Amino acid sequence: MPSSHPSKTSQAGIKNVRFGNDVHVVSPANLYGCSINDGVFIGPFVEIQKNVTIGRETRIQSHSFVCELVTIGTKCFIGHGVMFINDLFQNGGPAGGDKSQWKETTIGDSVSIGSNSTILPVRICDNAVIGAGSVVTKDINSPGIYAGNPAKFIRPL
């Protein structure tokens, strides 16, 4: 009979993180191998994976997921339940352990991303607002408000 317990378990926690000053992390959170700069707030139930950098004075609200290869600038706001994606399923399925297929995401400074948005591997310029529930599939190169699935320019700030 199969066991009802997994053969290997890991506890959520904070491991190998480079923290700046005045960082506030609300437990439970799962952070590992990332860099968190000064004055950052991280809400509960957030996962931030290795090779991620979070800029100073950025706020990441609860239930958000920041996967590997994401850089978030300074003074950004990441709403509740925002999901970052680094695998585009280029070969019809997950890349799995083939990290050569993973792509980078770069978020500029003073960017606000609304709750439940999904951010594919893109570049978002400084001073952009992404509406709640949006799916960003392409680079955003001009400041302004973007929303929808896929996210489109709505108006300037």
What confidence tens digit (pLDDT) does each residue in 21-79 have? 999 999 999 999 999 999 999 999 999 999 999 999 999 999 999 999 999 999 999 99
Instruction: Name the phi and psi angles at 100, rounded to 5.
Output: -65, -20
Residue 63: half-sphere exposure toward Cβ, Cα within 13 Å: 8
- 123: which residues sit within 8 A by CB, 6+ positions away? 105, 106, 108, 139, 140, 141
Total residue length of the chain: 157
Neighbours of 119 (CB within 10 A): 25
Residues 149 and 91: their CA atoms lie apart, in Å, by 23
pTM: predicted TM-score of the whole model, two decimal places? 0.92
What pLDDT score was predicted for residue 122?
97
Domains (range + CATH), the chain? 14-89+99-155 (2.160.10.10)
| Tokens 């019809």 found at | 92
CA angle 147, 149, 118 (to 5 degrees): 85
